[in-house]
Amino acid sequence: MRIARFDHAGTIVTGACAPGADGLAVLGDTDPIALLSAGASAIEHAIAGATETVPFAGARLRAPIPRPPKFLAIGLNYADHCAEAGMPAPDFPVFFNKQTTCVIGPGDAIHVPRASALVDYECELGIVIGRRCRHVPADRALDVIAGYTVVNDITVRDWQLRAPTMTIGKSFDTHGPIGPWIVTPDEIPDPQALGLRTWVNGELLQDATTAGMIFSCAQQIETLTTAFTLEPGDIIATGTPAGVGMLRQPPRWLVPGDVVAVEVDGIGRLENPVIAEPADTATM
């Protein structure tokens, strides 16, 4: 099943659909995190009780979780990406935070900030946590996943490299596109067998599978929950494969006028235009 948020009748509503449906059942102001946490039967009941359906073609999608409790990510998690960077594969997962104010949805503009023009794309499988959990062993980790989404881990490379934690270079406003929706685990039997791709202006720049992860989705959850509690709605971006712009010759930075699309098999395609940071972003 799919859970989404979209514009409808002058507001943003939650919607859901079963596999094979041609539109989203309108669920009004239902909290998408609460719906995901309630499980498959609750989602099916909500769909069955809906009185209106909006065709996919008519739905202006938004970020499925506009402000996740935590937005976590992992670096250097694909062997081919380590190789292109000339770095050894890490012995321990390299986690960092993306600030949740960076989240945008399908069709929203990615800003090239005034502070830097070194803006890069990273296609990633996103995990959405469905249960409050701690000390989850890897062999049970998939049980705490409510669904999967697509993440574009936009990165300001020079700012990333200025700080060992990477957080500041990963958290500029608009640099956390997620979507187009959340797909429940019944449609993703094996998260380690998914193709993922990136295009910029129609040119294919990343093309790999999640089988190339160094630390699997389950291993990532095990490591994180050893340290702290994960909560419903938390998002984990699980790493990007080779083909990032910084390591191309010459480098391929995102520039105003570009359109970047990232796609994960079984989930969907997330597309965003790139613009210069507008002058009116300053607030006090």
For the segment 120-160, what is each residue's pLDDT rounded down to a tens digit? Answer: 999 999 999 999 999 999 999 999 999 999 999 999 999 99
User: From edge to edge, which strands make up the β-sheet containing 110-112?
Assistant: 110-112, 268-276, 259-264, 195-200, 203-209
For residues 238 and 149, the answer to whether their CB atoms sit within 8 Å is no
Domains, the chain: 2-62 (no CATH), 71-281 (3.90.850.10)
Residue 20 Ramachandran class (φ > 0 left, ψ -120 to 50 alpha, else beta): left
Instruction: Compute the average pLDDT of residues 248-270.
Output: 98
Could you tell me the CA-to-CA distances from 40 to 15, 52, 265 in Å, in that order?
14, 20, 21
Q: What is the CA radius of gyration of the chain?
A: 18
Per DSSP bridges, beta strands 145-152 and 123-129 are: antiparallel
pLDDT number for residue 144: 98
Distance CA 241, CA 256 (A): 24
In terms of C-beta density within 10 A (0-12 exposed, 13-18 middle, 19 or more buried), how is residue 91 classed? exposed
pLDDT number for residue 284: 72
Q: What is the pLDDT of residues 26-60, one digit of tens each?
A: 999 999 999 999 988 999 999 999 999 999 988 99
